[in-house]
Amino acid sequence: MSENIEKVKCLIIGSGPAGYTAAIYAARANMSPVLYQGTQPGGQLTTTNEVENFPGYPEGVTGPEMMMQLQAQAQRFETDVRDGWVTKVDFSGDVHKAWVNETKEIHADTIIISTGASAKYLGLDSEQKYLKLGGGVSACAVCDGFFYRNQEVVIVGAGDSACEEAHYLSKLCKKVTMLVRRDEFRASKIMAARVKNTENIEILFNTETDEVLGDGQVVTAVRVFNNQTNEKHEIPATGFFVAIGHKPNTDIFKDFLDLDETGYIINEPGTSKTNIEGVFVSGDAADHVYRQAVTAAGTGCMAALDAERWLAAKDSAFEVSTSTYN
Ligand SMILES: Cc1cc2nc3c(=O)[nH]c(=O)nc-3n(C[C@H](O)[C@H](O)[C@H](O)COP(=O)(O)OP(=O)(O)OC[C@H]3O[C@@H](n4cnc5c(N)ncnc54)[C@H](O)[C@@H]3O)c2cc1C
């Protein structure tokens, strides 16, 4: 083996709630995990100011603070947390290989994938400005809807998730205006019917976002245009929700792992196992349904336990086979 190749028992890819929770469990099981943080140390929660729904924080916590605490907890048990982006993997042989920053090669007995997913945004400058300011743009109604109780909000999207999020918001907000680009929903009939039948949801078909308007700090309205007539008008709103989908960060695994049509890793139901022995998945990289920090953490725990049990079973099989020959 070349000197540049490092051999590890457990490689964790990603530093969100899934990755750090997997690290806490793997480290406490003596698996000496090595965790690569990627380009977003701490993951998606580092982009939000308020987390009020993670158990154990009665007063709430900021996303960055919570992720620093998770990192510290993983390091307390001697997780080796490193900078670096896994650029390539090879799961074709008995040894699971991964390359970091194109160069460093790692051979891992077990790999836990916790690379998350990225919410898609429209890409308007005004949208990005208020997103970065934490001033009223969000891609997660379940996470942030509570902050807009009794207020008026706008949501963009036409699929099942958008309908579900609009319906969720309608129970909290005074009024929800839903912008649908085409003249019909992409969502299933049942989900579309649910929003159509909700009194405080107004649906604007053939309608797109022109600008997110605000006072420089927070959103105050959304200017929209009808893509058939080009007519523009403003909708007063304090929240602008984008529900046009997520992209799982799984491109590097596509030649080896089973993915669904969107790119989410398919796991064996009720476990974190992928189609490759010794490779496990946790968090949003495999979850298009719940997409919450607490569920990511829960599946991170599952992945570490599955990895530890897989390794133990492999080691005892090896002991049995070698003792047979002795
Ligand atoms: C604005 C916003 C607010 C939210 N608010 C809440 C909330 O209040 N409550 C809640 O429960 N949930 C909230 N969520 C959802 C929550 O953040 C996610 O469900 C959770 O972070 C998913 O965790 P994860 O560990 O699976 O992935 P992520 O948090 O997405 O982390 C993925 C990690 O993988 C790394 N990575 C990716 N590719 C590679 C690679 N090739 N090599 C190395 N590293 C890699 C990234 O750098 C990152 O560290 C919010 C999400 C957003 C966007």
Following DSSP, what letter does each residue of 174-219 receive, concatenated? SEEEEE-SSSS-SS-HHHHHHHHT-TTEEEETTEEEEEEEESSSSE
Active-site residue flag, 301? no
Say what the pLDDT of residue 195 is: 96
* Atom in ligand 1 nearest the alpha carbon of residue 45: 17
Kindly report the protein residue whose alpha carbon is nearest to atom 50 of ligand 1.
45
Q: For the segment 156-200, what is each residue's pLDDT rounded down to a tens digit?
A: 999 998 999 999 999 999 999 999 999 999 999 999 999 999 999
Say what the pLDDT of residue 30 is: 96
What is the whole-number distance in angstroms between the Cα of residue 61 and the centre of ligand 1? 16
* Atom in ligand 1 nearest the alpha carbon of residue 119: 53
What is the whole-number distance in angstroms between the Cα of residue 116 and the centre of ligand 1? 5
Active-site residue flag, 255? no
Say what the pLDDT of residue 325 is: 52
> Which residue among 25, 36, 39, 44 has the greatest number of ligand 1 atoms within 8 angstroms of its CB, and so is best to mutate?
44
What is the whole-number distance in angstroms between the Cα of residue 41 and the centre of ligand 1? 9
Q: What's the sign of the alpha-carbon dihedral 6, 12, 14, 16? A: negative
Say what the pLDDT of residue 192 is: 95
Contacts of 301 by beta carbon, 8 Å cutoff, 6+ apart: 21, 22, 25
Say what the pLDDT of residue 49 is: 78
* Atom in ligand 1 nearest the alpha carbon of residue 294: 11
What is the whole-number distance in angstroms between the Cα of residue 311 and the centre of ligand 1? 27
What is the whole-number distance in angstroms between the Cα of residue 86 and the centre of ligand 1? 16
Active-site residue flag, 143? yes
What is the whole-number distance in angstroms between the Cα of residue 253 and the centre of ligand 1? 18
**Which pairs with CB-CB distance under 8 Å and at least 24 residues apart come from 296-300?**
296/16, 296/17, 296/18, 296/21, 296/114, 296/116, 297/17, 297/18, 297/20, 297/21, 298/21, 299/18, 299/272, 300/17, 300/18, 300/19, 300/20, 300/21, 300/22, 300/23, 300/25, 300/112, 300/114
- Of 83, 94, 109, 143, which residue is the catalytic one? 143
* Atom in ligand 1 nearest the alpha carbon of residue 117: 30
Which regions of the chain are under pLDDT 70?
1-3, 318-326
* Atom in ligand 1 nearest the alpha carbon of residue 100: 42
Q: What is the pTM of this model?
A: 0.89
> Which residue among 115, 247, 264 has the greatest number of ligand 1 atoms within 8 angstroms of its CB, and so is best to mutate?
115
Q: For the segment 269-298, what is each residue's pLDDT rounded down to a tens digit?
A: 999 999 999 999 999 999 999 999 999 999
Kindly report the protein residue whose alpha carbon is nearest to atom 5 of ligand 1.
143
